[in-house]
Amino acid sequence: MAFNSWQFIAFFPLVFLVHYALPQRLRWMWLLTTSVYFYGIFQPLLLLQILLATAAGYFLALKIEAEPDGTHKKKILAWAVYLLIGNLFVFKYTSFVNESVRDLLSWFGVSYGVPEVHLLLPIGISFYTFQLVSYVVDVYRGTVPAERHFGIFALYVCFFPKLVAGPIERAKSLLPQLHARAGFSTEQVVAGLQLAAWGMFKKVVISDRVAPFVNQVYGDPTDVTGVAITLATLLFAIQVYTDFSGYTDIALGCSQMLGYRLSPNFRRPYFATSIQDFWKRWHISLTSWLTDYIYTPLTRTRKIKLKWYYMMLLSLFLTFLASGLWHGAQWHFVAWGALHGAYLVISTMTQKWRRKGMKKVGLNRVPRFHHGLRVFNTFVLVCVAYILFQAQSLSDAFYMFTHIGTGWGMAVSELRAFVDGRWAELSFAGFGTAVAMGVDLLQERGGSVREMLKSRPTWTRWTLSTGLALSIALMGAFYDEGQEFIYFQF
């Protein structure tokens, strides 16, 4: 049940009304029931899988907390992590490993008798697996107590707004909220509704409008020139941001209407001044998870004998390699993660030289220009990596990299062929992008749209809200109803 479907538009008001009609002590039951239904509509056969993973995390965490012996406690944690990651591996990476081994052996002329394996990938498995892993690790570290109430814990894992595409919630943030008995707040409901509507605007007016332009190029890049590749990549940068941040806004808005606050996942990433800064702004819950549970433990390991500086660089690269693999069981995702890892390693290694170069050419004397240049350079690097992210294979990505310089002598005719008469769709998307980036720019400069609206007259707020609703209704791309969010596949 996608957020941008008529089914969800009918589903959520019912959830909302019954939630507040019930006594507070019964609300968790209703939310758990609706969350299970929400997920079951996607994949009924795999509903048992998420429930078993939830039960495993629940009971193993209790066992970890109850174990007095430190050595045994660590062994239980290891088994818990192996079980949860193993479950993810079986469903997401079995086919990938199998095909990779087949391709490798075929290079050496060795036959490989294991048949192809195609397992149905549970939606959201990467998100709820990481959430469960962080929970058992935090219980082991003693930063959170093990949850005794199985129903509340199951709701923590399965809460439908964040179930299929995050944010990856930490136990210390969400579990106390699920135990609390917050009352109805009109201000909170209105704010949540506005945020959800803003997310829907980004999804249907921008992301879904540009999706056909991106798909026509990335679906068969050998049929186009570098002009179309460049335009499609720039549009994909808009698409993936408005799609994923749109989903997050809807998730946060719906949760807020129900009385819960999820973690923010975006902070104006296209205004980042470096790749490091970009990852502090993009998919924040994943970056935070990778930092706490992969990068930091790697830098502290004693199994690899390296100086701390080189260990830090290696840990950075391996962390982003893991990020690429988390995004998808295909080599182009691994390459995308490796490229971002290389960006960070090179940036760290050359930091002193770049600072000296900046002073030498006098960029420090023109801070605004220097800031804008850094934002532009970061965006270009991110877009280069997007080619690996969105390509269907490494061979497609290689073709696009090697042909991106073609066709520029006929740029005008290539642009017309790329648009193919769909100027209205592109205009709607352009309008939406200008609005979205304008809001981001305002907030990047220290303003708050919500605070600004609070100080405006009621008629102004209603006019803007009505305009937002009309924009969704009149300019939204509903020709492909319920088009999935990009991060559903992860």
| Catalytic machinery residues | 327
Distances 23 to 12, 80, 91, 161, 177 between C-alpha atoms, Å:
19, 36, 39, 21, 16
DSSP string covering 26-72, please?
A: GHHHHHHHHHHHHHHHH-GGGHHHHHHHHHHHHHHHHHHHH---HHH
State the alpha helices, DSSP H only, in 108-185: 125-141, 150-158, 160-163, 171-179
Distances 314 to 302, 318, 338, 345, 408 between C-alpha atoms, Å:
14, 6, 11, 8, 39
Distances 66 to 54, 346, 470 between C-alpha atoms, Å:
19, 45, 56
Amino acid at 145: P
| CB count in 10 Å sphere of residue 288 | 18
Closest CA to 383 of 232, 266, 218, 223: 232
Tokens of 365: 């004397």
| CB count in 10 Å sphere of residue 85 | 15
d(CA 487, CA 327): 8
d(CA 317, CA 334): 11
Q: Is 407 left (phi over 0), alpha (psi -120 to 50) or beta?
A: left
d(CA 397, CA 380): 16
d(CA 380, CA 373): 11
